Structure 1
């Protein structure tokens, strides 16, 4: 049985012309051989598997060739070339710096440089992975590298140029090797497959080339692996199965379904991808790369940037013709944001699903048309249908934090029943007073009320009482962007009460965007009052806050007009006088104040065994 040799060794280049993807460097080296203008030290640097050591060996053989060809190649006929090919040359030495990195090894090497060559003109020392030398070894090497004997040439090779001392770099001619392009890798794999008699699909070789990431040695190793799995017939499906690569077809289908706004179909496709063992983050990264390629295929000028096979380039061009540039740009932006947030997300699948739904709705028209000069509200059909299914149309909207309040009221009702059994009607009265009796600080006077936030619930005590009783007022579904000064409410002039004004003020604060969260938190401690209907006045505690609210005054006024159904509302803001300023109490101070005014609250706290957070 013939001994098997892997393709990376069997088809290793033996001449400059057979080196793939390094034309500029090999031309320079051949010209140096032809002219006889050889430096005493060379540094070959670049990523793994791109031909650094191979070029060093070819160059060393050409330097010592006794009759080089006219274009600077070795003749392979003279004694020096035959000795090198048979691995018995005494003029060419290879040293692995990874295992010979001490000062003693360098001193031994220096001793060998003193002996002139027996055959040929030069002694060539090839030091591979030279960045592994210790600092002491580098320093011992400096003097010899700067002024070596006339018959010595050093060729250093490394994958990590930044680890080499600047004093070493300044003594060498530096050659930077490039990564192989996908096309160059595919062409070389085709020639190897033809020599080996292996059938192949070009799309399969493209997958191997992309997996190799610019390294020809990696590409040949993967090629051997795929040839063994496919038994001499390399197909696209078998290669992606063997290499565990996500099929490119998924990306084409996701983009096509996104153009048709088929979010449900994309969800089914995502589930199929995850069931096959692929990570959702891998899908997003691959989709972003795919969208980028489609974007590049939109223009003939950027078409060369696609490092894919000719068949894939044709498919990208077809899909690019169906996609709008704005859609591709927006989809790429959304996918990139998901990639950034993916590692920090606790529910990674949900993040991927939301990202794909968002991409699928880029081209979907808005459900409501925008007024003149107003940015449209992007309320999509999918989410509108979900909202309709979740609650009846006649149900009044509630603040997001109403759930915890309802649970508090339920606990209080349960304890009231227990008190009633133990103390008769007095227990019910005590609990009712604790839940509904207004505090002295919240009176009917028109001065600013003392507001108390119920922990993280985001309610004033007034709204807490309102949550316990059903309200008759209906609120228009949806929200108004409080930062949009161009928003125009309906032309209505309905009456509204002080309670309704305060409720809509608090709701507006809860809806304000994240960038205005600081202002919103301070606005929750303010109480708007009706001075001369429909005029509304807000008293602000300090000048800084007044200046900040003046910037968004138009948005606040438009929001109140919309949700109170009165287009005649005018908003006045003024600085609080000294006797109007109210101290903002902490949670404990709020509770103590309420307990002084209503001892039943403290009694209820003790019966429920509650602690203030």
Structure 2
């Protein structure tokens, strides 16, 4: 019988607090509350997508309803209650997507069952995901039950936008805010998963995936799945670069140098080379802004630790005045804003760079060229 592959984001979803990546303060607070039996009737998890809001909710349900260990921070994972919650079959745990059930009638139908005792477990738990999508009437219907629910009922709310929640809802919940994960945390976790899955990988490839995920673990694991398929069972740097459309950083250095030395023909040639590679010009502009940020940091703090292309970064930092880099950064931000409105992405990107070229002060050009020549001669 053929084994069906389960996506990594589902297969490696944390099942207990020990498996959660990051979110140290939230984990510690919940574990302390459970061990001290200091239980609240409504929990609110907020934060960006893919950082573990519903995962925390499911772990919390298991901690509350575990048959073997009772109310504790360590569910057993083997009792009927834990297994039913893991497989989504528990009659006492109802997970609702508020985005698809926004009407007040849907919520009232849900709340009508609150009065009934749990079928098997200790508590009946309602997890309402993306709760900010509920209508105003739905929130009004929820308020009274949320304030004084029966003792056997717990509410777990999750949202990516807490500012859309009425203050009356916020005040009735114990709130926990989840933050984006660090690239290092994502890299280490992906490395752990690939070692367990016996999949060949390169650490530099994982670093690229972690950076592309922008702190979102679910996105990181989805990208990891894609890279495994694209690399035919391996996660290699070259394949990941192609998959993500990562730009050769030397081209971006060349672009800035062509602006510094007033070489307009070279500037247009480098842009054409980017176009021939089929890159996403929105990503190219974002990478250019990142490069300008790194140059600005070096200009203010010369000893700052920048991992890649350190020599060329310092060279560019000497070529430009601090004010020029700040100006280029602002031009780049405006270009990023206007890019969707350009006749074509390439044209929008090109106009942004031509703007940098045009507004680069002539006085700076002459002065910096002289200074750069002197520094080069002194080093020789």
Shorter-normalised TM range: 0.7 to 0.9
CA contact (8 A) 2:260 2:320 kept: no
Report how far residue 217 of structure 1 moved.
Answer: 0.9
Instruction: Give 1:117's aligned residue.
Output: 118
Partners of 2:361 and 2:235 in 1: CA distance: 35
Determine the structure 2 residue equivalent to 1:327: 321
Following the alignment from structure 2 to structure 1, what is the Cα–Cα distance between the partners of residues 369 and 45?
Answer: 63
Matched, 1:84 2:85: yes
The aligned counterpart of 1:73 is 74
Q: Structure 2 vs 1, CA of residues 296 and 335 (structure 1 numbering), >3 Å: closer, same or farther?
A: closer
CA shift digits 1:73-104 (9 cap, x unpaired): 21224443233334432222212222233223
Structure 2 Cα separation of the partners of residues 201 and 360 of structure 1: 44
Task: Look up the SS of the partner of 1:365 in the other structure.
Answer: helix
Shift of 1:345: 7.6
Q: TM-score, normalised by structure 1?
A: 0.53
Partner of 1:242: 243
Distance 1:368 1:106 in 2: 69
After superposition, give the CA deviation of every residue in 1:168-220 in whole Å (9 maximum; x if it has no partner): 11111111111122222222221222222222233322332232222111111
* Counterparts in 2 of 1:345 and 1:70: CA distance versus 1, 3 Å: closer
Aligned to 2:38: 37
Aligned equivalent of 1:64: 65
Q: Secondary structure at the match of 1:113?
A: coil
Structure 1 residue 55 and structure 2 residue 49: aligned? no
Distance 1:284 1:84 in 2: 45
Contact 1:75-1:81 within 8 A present in 2 as well: yes
Other-structure match for 1:292: 293
Question: For structure 1, which runs of at least 5 residues remain unmatched after alignment?
Answer: 304-312, 370-613
Is 1:22 the counterpart of 2:23 in the alignment?
yes
Alpha-carbon spacing, 1:67–1:363, altered in 2? closer, same or farther (3 Å): farther
The answer to whether 1:5 aligns with 2:6 is yes
Distance 1:178 1:276 in 2: 35
SS in 2 for 1:43: strand
Alpha carbons of 1:363 and 1:206: their partners in 2 closer, same or farther (altered >3 Å)? Answer: farther
TM-score by length of 2: 0.82
Query: Partner residue of 1:493?
Result: none
CA distance in structure 2 between the partners assigned to 1:38 and 1:151 by the alignment = 12
Larger Rg: 1
Structure 2 distance, partners of 1:154, 1:285, is 41
1:146 aligns with 2:113: no
Structure scoring higher RCO (CA < 8 A, sep ≥ 6) equals 2
Asked if structure 1 preserves the Cα contact closer than 8 Å seen for 2:259 and 2:356, the reply is no
Could you tell me how far apart the structure 2 residues matched to 1:232 and 1:256 are?
Answer: 40
Runs of 4+ with deviation above 3 angstroms: 66-71, 85-88, 252-267, 277-285, 294-303, 316-322, 324-329, 344-348, 356-364, 366-369
SS of the residue corresponding to residue 13 of structure 1 reads: coil
* 2:330 aligned residue (324, 336, 342): 336
Equivalent residues in 2 for 1:7-406, closer than 5 Å: 7-68=8-69, 72-255=73-256, 265-278=266-279, 282-296=283-297, 299=301, 313-315=306-308, 317-322=310-315, 323-324=317-318, 327=321, 329-340=323-334, 343=338, 348=348, 349-353=350-354, 355-356=356-357, 364-366=365-367
- The structure-2 alpha-carbon separation of the partners of 1:143 and 1:86, relative to structure 1 and needing over 3 Å to count, comes to same
Alignment correspondent of 1:421? none
Shift of 1:300: 8.7
Distance in 1, Cα, partners of 2:368 & 2:57: 67
Higher helix share: 2
| Segment of structure 1 superposing worse, 251-260 or 239-248 | 251-260
Counting only pairs closer than 5 Å after superposition, residues 598-609 of structure 1 correspond to structure 2 as none
The more displaced of 42-51 and 115-124 is: 115-124
* Matched residue SS, 1:315: coil
The alignment of Structure 1 onto Structure 2 pairs a total of residues equal to 360
Q: Say whether the 8 Å CA contact 2:92–2:118 is kept in structure 1.
A: yes
Distance 2:59 2:77 in 1: 11
Q: Report if aligned partners of 2:331, 2:352 keep a CA contact under 8 Å in 1.
A: no
Q: CA RMSD in A?
A: 3.3
Cα distance in 1 between the residues matched to 2:246 and 2:55: 30
- Which runs of 5 or more structure 2 residues have no equivalent in the other structure? 371-380
Distance 1:121 1:367 in 2: 73
Q: Deviations over 1:475-522 (max 9, x none)?
A: xxxxxxxxxxxxxxxxxxxxxxxxxxxxxxxxxxxxxxxxxxxxxxxx
Is the CA contact 1:204–1:234 (under 8 Å) kept in the aligned structure 2?
Answer: yes
Deviations 1:45-85 (A, max 9, x none): 11111110011000110111244499822122444323333
Q: 1:150 to 1:187 in 2, by over 3 A?
A: same
Shift of 1:244: 2.6
Deviation at 1:13, TM superposition (A): 0.8
Deviations 1:389-424 (A, max 9, x none): xxxxxxxxxxxxxxxxxxxxxxxxxxxxxxxxxxxx
Q: Is the 8 A contact 2:260 2:319 kept in 1?
A: no
Q: Secondary structure at the match of 2:228?
A: helix
